[in-house]
Chain A
Amino acid sequence: MKRLVLAFALMALPVATAARADDAIVMHLKNHRFTPSVIKVKANKPSMIILHNDDDSADEFDSASLKIEKVVPGRAKGNIRVRALAPGKYPFMGEFHAATAQGVVIAE
């Protein structure tokens, strides 16, 4: 049991630095396409993406690997908090227009 508690305590350590809004990455969604569609973040550090939906219709930023589902209404913006990621590729999509709205977060 004690070992389990220690394991959980260790897992908590990397979150000491939370994402700050001032170094957020700005991304736009227009005509159901993300720009930029490739987002690079530092590995093992949380980050923040501010998604501006420039379309009239709502869309949902959806990523199973990032574990984020966030609806952003038309002509609105949404703050997307990305947890500290291990190096790798994390695809995301605009679920309501998945045919065109595709992108990827690369942690390195």
Chain B
Amino acid sequence: MISALIIVFREVIEAGLIVGIVLAATTGVPGRERAVTIGVLAGVLGACLVAGFAGQLANLFQGSGQEFFNAGILLLAVAMLTWHNVWMASHGREMARELKAAGHQVRTGERTLTALSIVVGVAVLREGSEVVLFLYGIAAQGGTSAAGMVVGGGLGLLGGALVSALMYFGLLTVPAGKLFQVTAWLITLLAAGMAAQAVLLLQNGGLLEVFTGTVWDTSWLIRDDSLTGKLLHTLVGYSEAPNGAQLIAYGATILAILVLMRLVNAPATRTKAA
């Protein structure tokens, strides 16, 4: 029961924090509940499929199918998060104004809902497939452990949802004018962390084996497998001992997003100056 609780809690937090950020980033956008719900449901369905075909998936690419698949969906999420931020850079001010004026409706934000729905789906799929495999394994053993599993899994789900809700409501206390700036930064760091994780997965799959040396080690301060480490890993891509390629991917993603945001914003700034 305890192991079910811990595993489900951990995976739910990881996906839930992302859902919380996405919800905050779409504050006031009509149709966002639908987009997020579709993302979650598609993610759960995808997780069951991935778990069901785990054996076949693992055998692809000389045993590295799992790594490449996960790296692929992470990179897809990075692309979607980037697109959202770039879109927001050109419409963010407008959206903040709408949010303050109307209180609820932010029509401009509807355009990137699909992208964020995909991000939610991918997050749920990645964390969910592990939960499905784990719970299925316990359920297959049957007996008393199955009942404990339901209780543990339920508690884990509840706890994870609670932490995610705290994240969301915490973000909502940010004043309306600043909210989209804060979520833009959170999304940038989220994307950078995902890119670094994708690089690690590619390396574990035998691709991109460059700059694999550890650059620094902060395991004495925050361990990857601690709760703080897990939370920071999900939010800002924390790793106790990142390697060179991971750091390059992290930095390059932040740089790329900032440059793209600047570029789409440039014409507006010029008009103002003129």
- Enumerate chain A interface residues (CB-CB to B < 8 A): 8, 10-12, 14-15, 18-19, 46, 56-60, 64-65, 67-68, 70-74, 76-79, 81, 83-84, 86, 95-99
Contacts and interface: CB of A to CB of B under 8 A. Distances in A.
Interface string B215-228: 10001000111000
Contact of A74 (B3, B137, B248): B137
In order of increasing CB-CB distance, the 7 nearest A-B pairs are A57-B137, A11-B213, A79-B63, A64-B224, A64-B225, A58-B133, A73-B55
Interface residues of B, number: 43
Contacts of B214: 86
A69 B64 CA distance: 12
Contacts of B82: none
B102 interface: no
Nearest to B2: A99
21 contacts: A8-B248, A11-B243, A12-B210, A14-B213, A15-B212, A57-B140, A59-B137, A70-B67, A71-B58, A71-B66, A71-B130, A72-B58, A73-B55, A73-B58, A76-B55, A76-B59, A79-B64, A81-B204, A95-B7, A96-B7, A96-B133
Contacts of B205: 81
Nearest to B4: A96
Contacts of A76: 54-55, 58-59
A78 B58 contact: yes
Nearest to A98: B3
A56 B140 contact: yes
B169 interface: no
A103 to B, nearest CB: 15
B140 A8 contact: no
Nearest to A76: B55
Among A70, A86, A99, find the residue whose CB has the most chain B CB atoms closer than 10 A.
A70
Contacts of A67: 200, 204, 224, 239, 241
B206 interface: yes
A12 B203 CA distance: 13
Contacts of B243: 11, 83
A63 to B, nearest CB: 9
A107 B230 CA distance: 26
B146 to A, nearest CB: 13
Contact of A58 (B64, B136, B209, B229): B136
A96 B3 CA distance: 8
A57 B141 contact: yes
A12 B204 contact: no
Contacts of B136: 57-58
Given A70-B204, A73-B55, 12 more contacts: A11-B212, A14-B213, A15-B210, A56-B140, A57-B137, A57-B138, A58-B133, A64-B224, A74-B137, A76-B55, A77-B63, A79-B63
A20 B144 CA distance: 44
Contacts of B129: 71
Among B130, B204, B240, find the residue whose CB has the most chain A CB atoms closer than 10 A.
B204
